[in-house]
A and B are shown apart, each in its own frame.
Chain A
Amino acid sequence: MFRDALLVAGKDLRIERRSRVGLQQIVPFAVLVIVLFAFALDPDRGVLTRAAAGLFWVAVLFSALLAVQRSQAVEGADGVRDAVRLSGLDPAGIFLGKALAVAVQLLVLEVVLGVSVVLLYDVEVVGLGVLAGTAVAATAGLAAAGSLYGALAAGLRVRETLLPLLLLPVVAPVLIAATRASESALTSTSFEVSAGDWLGLLGVFAALYVAFGLFAYGPLLED
Chain B
Amino acid sequence: MDAVVHLRDAVCLLGRFPALAGVDLDVAPGEIVLLTGPNGAGKTTLLRALAGLVPVTAGEAVVLGHDLRRDARALRRDVGLLGHGAALYDDLTVAENVRFWARAGRAGGDVDAAMARAGLDSRVRDVIGARLSAGQRRRAALAVLFARAARLWLLDEPHAGLDAAGRDALDAEIRAAVASGTTVVVASHELDRASALATRTVTVAGGHLLGPSGRLSGEEEPLRVP
Whether A7 lies near B104 (C-beta < 8 A) is: yes
A82 touching B90 in the complex, CB below 8 Å, given contacts A7-B103, A11-B100 = no
Per-residue interface assignment for chain B, residues 44 to 71, with 1 indicating a CB less than 8 Å from any chain A CB and 0 otherwise: 0000100111000000000000000000
Closest to A80 in B: B87
Bound Cα distance A80, B85 (Å): 8
Q: How many chain A residues touch the partner (CB < 8 A)? A: 20
Residues of B within 8 A of A78 (CB): 85-88
Closest to B78 in A: A88
**B-contacting 9-mer, from A12-20, A49-57, A133-141:** A12-20
Residue A193 at the chain B interface, CB threshold 8 Å? no
A87 touching B83 in the complex, CB below 8 Å, given contacts A14-B92, A18-B91, A74-B89 = no
A86 touching B81 in the complex, CB below 8 Å, given contacts A7-B100, A15-B91, A77-B90 = yes
**Nearest Cβ in chain A — how far from B149, in angstroms?**
10
**Nearest Cβ in chain B — how far from A130, in angstroms?**
37
Whether B88 lies near A87 (C-beta < 8 A) is: no
Whether A79 lies near B101 (C-beta < 8 A) is: no
Bound Cα distance A74, B85 (Å): 14
Whether B92 lies near A15 (C-beta < 8 A) is: yes
Bound Cα distance A11, B77 (Å): 19
- Looking at B53, B83, B89, B100, the one whose CB has the most chain A CB atoms below 10 A away is B89
Bound Cα distance A86, B76 (Å): 5
Residue A83 at the chain B interface, CB threshold 8 Å? yes
Residue A160 at the chain B interface, CB threshold 8 Å? no
Bound Cα distance A18, B131 (Å): 14
Bound Cα distance A78, B83 (Å): 10
Residues of A within 8 A of B77 (CB): 87-88
Q: Which of A14, A15, A18, A88 contacts B104 (CB 8 A)?
A: A88
Q: Which 8 A-B pairs have the closest CB atoms?
A: A79-B85, A88-B77, A83-B87, A87-B104, A79-B87, A78-B85, A15-B91, A19-B91
Interface on B for A, CB 8 Å cutoff?
48, 51-53, 73, 76-77, 79, 81, 83-92, 96, 100-101, 103-106, 128, 144
Give 16 A-B pairs besides A11-B89, A11-B96, A87-B101 with Cβ atoms closer than 8 angstroms: A7-B100, A14-B91, A14-B92, A15-B91, A18-B92, A77-B89, A79-B84, A80-B89, A82-B53, A82-B81, A82-B85, A82-B87, A83-B144, A86-B76, A87-B105, A88-B77
